[in-house]
Amino acid sequence: MGTKIIPVSVTTRKSLSKKQRAIEILARLKHLYPDATCSLNYSTPVQLLVATILSAQCTDERVNKVTPALFGKFPDAESLAIADLVELENLVRSTGFYHNKAKNIQGACRMIVSEFNSVVPNQMEQLLKLPGVARKTANVVLAHAYGINAGVTVDTHVKRLSERLGLTEHTDPVRIEQDLMGLLPQPDWENWSIRLIYHGRAICKARSPVCVACELADLCPAANKPVVVG
């Protein structure tokens, strides 16, 4: 038997602190998406790194269609570091922005080979040195390749839902991440992001959030309010 969700009233919601609401939202997300996990397909840390770079402004579904051929041809940092750039671009073309993505993938893999003995680093400051890697990508790699919760991954879904849920007043992903890190227990930082992404895809969509079917609605200050898109 799963845990029964008992909605709080609007009055109760307003009496809760932001941290209390975040913890309650987290509990409900765990109930709603108990098996949520990273949707990118990969076998090694470097493949996860590459897939995450490719996922920028692209769906995970599209990335997963591209990576079998990519990793079949170039399975590791060494092979990606010396790959023909035009061939690499053609393999990742359908993910969009393929010139920059291919360049960053190759640049990151060359640095991994030359500076990190062909092993993807497991420290935030080292990952951020790699071309094409910002905190979002680094957080994904650390959490799913190494089991390290160094921060909260903030993608477009996490950004949108965190704002709608009233958990941040910022629009900059780094500031949003800092706010969320202060509200949530560290062991839950990454599974918060994964579950919020699932909820964003299923219910709290950018243009047409389905508030009537949302089990977070009673905790959400934006529930049933008009969506401004622009």
- The residues annotated as belonging to the active site are 136, 155
What is the rounded distance in angstroms from the CA atom of residue 163 to the CA atom of residue 215? 17
Please check whether residue 214 is in contact with residue 222, taking contact to mean a CB–CB distance below 8 angstroms.
no
3-state secondary structure at position 102: helix
What is the rounded distance in angstroms from the CA atom of residue 78 to the CA atom of residue 112? 9
What is the rounded distance in angstroms from the CA atom of residue 223 to the CA atom of residue 110? 47
CA angle at residue 194 from 191 to 199, to 5 degrees? 120
* Residue of 106, 151, 145 whose CA lies nearest to 122: 145
What is the rounded distance in angstroms from the CA atom of residue 227 to the CA atom of residue 2? 32
Measured CA distances, 13 to 166, 214, 215 (Å): 11, 15, 14
Burial status of residue 29 (CB atoms within 10 A of its CB: 0-12, 13-18, 19 or more): buried
What is the rounded distance in angstroms from the CA atom of residue 178 to the CA atom of residue 183? 9
